[in-house]
Amino acid sequence: MNRFLTLVILLVLANECVAAPSAKPNFIIINIDDLGYADIGPFGSKLNRTPHLDRMAKEGRKLTSFYAAPVCSPSRAALMTGCYPKRALPIPGVLFPGNAEGLSPNEITVAEVLKEVGYATAIIGKWHLGDQP
């Protein structure tokens, strides 16, 4: 799915929710490094107990078709922009504070798309998409 189509789908979903403010869903996007597909309960883990994630998956939507790059910065860039990692952040490794590279300020992120339709957004945890202008 290309970036434009991804953003259009998000806008359509968000706009449908704006029509009925009480029905506006919360979005919680979780990106975890080094997590295997079946490492949490909603995807079949019998080893790791994840009751809160299990409940979130049961009561909300569980996305089952996705792509992740082998390191965190490209995966985060793809998640935030809807672009393939090589397109959004053409570097192969992890970005640390002070790296010259980073996500271009010209990229449109999912947070910006959601803000346009009345959502408040936040990030908790590491960013690893660059910190330089």
Active-site amino acid positions: 72, 128
What is the C-alpha separation between 116 and 59, in angstroms, rounded?
26
114 with 27: CB under 8 angstroms? yes
Return left, alpha or beta for 35; rule: phi > 0 is left, psi -120 to 50 is alpha, else beta: beta
